[in-house]
């Protein structure tokens, strides 16, 4: 049995938490004097810092020890649903079929290929289990095969700090050579010998330099360096294979350069110079570039530009800007184009026959779903691969024949244990925000869970960077649903569900809309009987963790418990420090606090500096020691300060993964254990006993 949700009177029997020492550090900005007692936790090399984090881990382990049986049961349930030995759907390129597979008992994927003819033998291109042997972390970055199929350029990170090392492997001999460290993207020229790759600036981790490397030689020529600290660069190859693209972009502005893939030694040519607050994305077909550009409206239009003279003066409009439809992405093939659009908060796929100009959309069967491109490496193809899923439909891979307008299901992820989608119900409803805006909410629950205001409720949100919160399936989530939990996703402003206007209304000096939207969705769900207030647990990660911290300060009475994953909670200090990764580039998301108006606004919601002496919900705060996106010290400082201020005795727990980065554990089994850990905390706070799920027959 799990312990009952902890109340104040139970605290006397609990172990004493660590107490971080206080070393006041006062800074002054715009006349505002801020004292930070826990800034010392930023010193990663200080043994006291690691000792404090390990003490917090030990405390968390002790407090949650009664949940061990529940955690193991949850892990076993999730593992039982997983098809451990599996294989992805192959995709074609250059006479090969590429795919990955997993093997029971192994943490990582094995990347493979076969010749594109019947009964061809398998070739293993990369076994991450072998590469990860003895490493606490293993992540694959670049994976690019040369045109002749002989060489593989790949990069790996063994720390979680997004610190990738680039290698080239001879797929015939197996010989591997290291190319460079701290790399990002990579792309081959048509000669299969020249490799272009990007390298990061060490302190900020901004990809800022492009190099040209002739494999087998010591030559590494610097091709381009981006000096503006707000911009990152990336290198890519068009689907046709005709051109290499150098993409240069900030959060709100972009430009691109191109190079014929057959002439890797030539100079790169600018398509159109950057213009502040204008973004464009490039594809290519025949003699033209096709550009997705937001020069006439925030939601983007589609234009054609001749490669011979691609500047703005020659742009010809193909599809105009639409206020109610966001053009999210473009894919061009020899005879067809595929445009990814978003309308009424949902993704749409628009297919056009470029020979006739006729177009149509692929139809999808559910009220809330996600649809996104699959692997489409070949330009001369009339078949488009896409993936589809929803809160009740497992990830499904389809091939769409653009001539006959028919979809063929190639594979749906297998959920073992007798999963029946018909047992569950998914809905799309809306809440009204404080200013009258209508906020979409996606919901999933078992059909036998009554909407009578008594159910446990889990509410998740993100709401930043214009990122639409995806409506996706999770077999792991069944361990909550089958215990009667109602799960809701709040599509708050700051995300991209309703186009650029939705993002703009939740960033910079409008950021507080994200927080008030979330509160409105929680109140609406409770008022409509989807759950009970005393059983409401909320969760968010990274910028969504900022959201969690902000609403916990605004309405601590509204939530039973909060799960903050790698939370961005020390916004003021981070955005004032331009030596940190991401800071300068994100002035366009949060504002630059060196400007007083922006400082005052951020100061008004920054979770860390708005903690106060009051009661708070129970909290589990998770971070990683090697996180390069939200540094570990933000959640560590947040917990230390909150523990010193809060007046309640509900649990406040900090769990630090000492050998991972922003996404947590890299191995699939290790990741399942982290999810089981989180779910056990959630269920405990909801007051749910440690039973097996109903679907398992218990």
pLDDT for 145: 98
| Cα distances (angstroms) measured from residue 642 to each of 38, 615, 652, 653 | 11, 10, 8, 11
pLDDT of 172-225, one tens digit each?
A: 999 999 999 999 999 999 999 999 999 999 999 999 999 999 999 999 999 999
CB 156 within 8 A of CB 145: no
Q: Which residues of 281-301 are buried (b: 16+ CB within 10 A; e: fewer)?
A: bbbbbeebbbbbbbbeeebbb
Q: List own/partner pairs for 267-272 with CB under 8 A and 24 or more apart.
A: 268/223, 268/224, 269/310, 271/305, 271/310, 271/311, 272/305, 272/310, 272/311, 272/312
Which residues of the chain fall below pLDDT 50? 1-4, 6-12, 695-698
Q: Which of 288, 482, 570, 627 is catalytic?
A: 627
pLDDT of 131-165, one tens digit each?
A: 999 999 999 999 999 999 999 999 999 999 999 99
460 membership: H or E segment, kind and range: strand 457-461
358 catalytic? Reply is no
Q: Which of 36, 503, 662, 678 is catalytic?
A: 662
Percentage helix, strand, coil for the chain under 3-state DSSP, each rounded to 5: 25, 35, 40
- Contacts of residue 200, defined as CB under 8 A and 6 or more positions apart, other chains included, come to 182, 183, 184, 206, 207, 208
CB 507 within 8 A of CB 517: no
Global pTM value: 0.96
662 catalytic? Reply is yes
pLDDT for 14: 73
- Give the residue carrying structure tokens 């990002």: 184
- Give the residue carrying structure tokens 């649809």: 371
Query: What gap in Å lies between CA 397 and CA 383, rounded to an integer?
Result: 13
Bridge partners of residue 329, in order along the sequence: 340
* Domains of the chain, CATH where assigned: 8-80+425-696 (3.40.50.1820)
Query: What gap in Å lies between CA 636 and CA 255, rounded to an integer?
Result: 38
- Contacts of residue 82, defined as CB under 8 A and 6 or more positions apart, other chains included, come to 416, 475, 668, 672
- Contacts of residue 331, defined as CB under 8 A and 6 or more positions apart, other chains included, come to 239, 283, 337, 338, 339, 340, 373, 376, 384
Question: What's the chain's average pLDDT?
Answer: 96
Query: What's phi and psi for 69, nearest 5 deg?
Result: -65, -40
Query: CA nearest 572: which of 27, 40, 21?
Result: 27
Residue 9 DSSP SS3: helix
Half-sphere exposure of residue 374: CA atoms within 13 angstroms, side-chain side: 24
pLDDT for 487: 98
Query: What's phi and psi for 459, nearest 5 deg?
Result: -120, 125
448 catalytic? Reply is no
- Cβ neighbours, 10 Å, residue 547: 32
pLDDT for 691: 53
Q: Which of 109, 370, 474, 542 is catalytic?
A: 542
Tell me whether residue 313 is exposed, middle or buried, using C-beta atoms within 10 angstroms of its C-beta: 0 to 12, 13 to 18, 19 or more: exposed
The DSSP code sequence of 661-690 is BTTB--SHHHHHHHHHHHHHHHHHHHT--S
């Amino acid at each position: 049995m799990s312990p009952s949700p902890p109340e104040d009177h139970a605290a006397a029997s609990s172990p004493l938490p660590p107490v971080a020492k206080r070393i006041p550090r006062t800074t002054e900005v715009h006349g505002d004097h801020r004292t930070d007692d826990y800034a010392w936790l930023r010193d990663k090399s200080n043994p006291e810092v690691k000792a404090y984090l390990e003490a917090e881990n030990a405390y968390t382990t002790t407090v949650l020890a009664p949940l061990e049986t529940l955690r193991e049961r949850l892990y076993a349930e999730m593992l039982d649903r997983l098809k451990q030995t599996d294989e992805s759907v192959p995709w074609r390129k250059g006479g090969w079929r590429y795919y990955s597979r997993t093997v029971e008992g192994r943490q990582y994927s094995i990347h493979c290929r076969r010749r594109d003819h019947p009964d061809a033998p398998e070739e293993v291109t990369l076994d991450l289990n072998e590469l990860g042997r003895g490493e606490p972390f293993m992540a694959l970055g670049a994976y690019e095969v040369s045109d002749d199929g002989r060489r593989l350029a790949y990069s790996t990170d063994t720390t979680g700090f997004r610190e990738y090392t680039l290698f080239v492997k001879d797929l015939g001999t197996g010989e591997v050579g290291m190319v460079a460290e701290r790399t990002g993207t990579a792309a081959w020229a048509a000669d299969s010998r020249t490799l272009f790759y990007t390298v990061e600036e060490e302190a900020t981790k901004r990809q800022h330099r492009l190099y040209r490397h002739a494999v087998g030689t010591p030559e590494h020529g610097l091709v381009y360096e981006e000096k503006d600290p707000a911009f990152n660069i990336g290198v890519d190859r068009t689907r046709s294979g005709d051109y290499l693209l150098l993409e240069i972009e900030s959060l709100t502005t972009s430009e691109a350069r191109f190079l014929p893939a057959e002439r890797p030694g030539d100079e790169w040519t600018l398509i159109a110079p950057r213009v502040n607050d204008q973004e464009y994305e490039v594809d290519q077909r025949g003699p033209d570039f096709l550009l997705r550009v937001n020069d006439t409206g925030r939601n983007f239009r589609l234009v054609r530009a001749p490669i011979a003279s691609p500047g703005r003066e020659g742009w010809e409009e193909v599809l105009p800007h639409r206020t109610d439809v966001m053009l999210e992405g473009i894919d061009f093939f020899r005879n067809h184009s595929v445009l990814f659009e978003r309308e009424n908060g949902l993704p749409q796929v628009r297919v056009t026959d470029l020979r006739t100009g006729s177009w149509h959309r692929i139809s999808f069967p559910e009220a809330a779903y996600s649809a996104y491109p699959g692997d489409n490496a070949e330009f001369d193809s009339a078949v488009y691969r896409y993936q589809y899923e929803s809160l009740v439909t497992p990830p499904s891979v389809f091939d769409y024949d653009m001539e006959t307008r028919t979809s063929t299901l190639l594979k749906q992820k297998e959920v073992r244990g007798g999963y029946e989608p018909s047992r569950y119900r998914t809905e799309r409803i809306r809440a009204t925000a404080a200013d009258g805006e209508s906020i979409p909410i996606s919901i999933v629950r078992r059909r036998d869970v009554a909407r009578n205001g008594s159910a446990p409720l889990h509410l998740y949100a993100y709401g930043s960077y214009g990122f639409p919160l995806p409506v996706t399936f999770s077999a792991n989530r069944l361990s909550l649903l089958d215990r009667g939990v109602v799960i809701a996703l709040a599509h708050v402003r700051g995300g991209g569900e309703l186009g650029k206007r939705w993002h703009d209304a939740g960033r910079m000096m409008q950021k507080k809309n994200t927080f008030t939207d979330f509160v409105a969705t929680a109140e609406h769900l409770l008022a409509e009987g989807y759950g009970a207030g005393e059983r409401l647990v909320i969760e968010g990660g990274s910028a969504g963790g900022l959201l969690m911290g902000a609403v916990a300060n605004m309405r601590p009475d509204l939530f039973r418990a909060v799960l903050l994953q790698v939370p961005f909670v020390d916004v003021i200090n981070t955005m004032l420090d331009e030596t940190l990764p991401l800071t300068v580039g994100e002035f366009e998301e949060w504002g630059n606090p060196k400007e007083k108006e922006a400082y005052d606004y951020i100061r008004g919601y920054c979770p860390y500096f708005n903690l106060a002496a009051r009661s708070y919900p129970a909290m589990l705060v998770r971070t990683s020691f090697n996180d390069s996106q939200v540094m570990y010290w933000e959640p560590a400082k947040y917990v230390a300060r909150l523990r010193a201020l809060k007046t309640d005795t509900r649990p406040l727990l900090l769990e630090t993964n000492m050998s991972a980065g922003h996404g947590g554990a890299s191995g699939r089994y290790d990741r399942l254990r982290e999810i089981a850990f989180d779910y056990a905390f959630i269920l405990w706070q909801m007051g749910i006993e440690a039973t097996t799920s109903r679907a398992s027959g218990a």
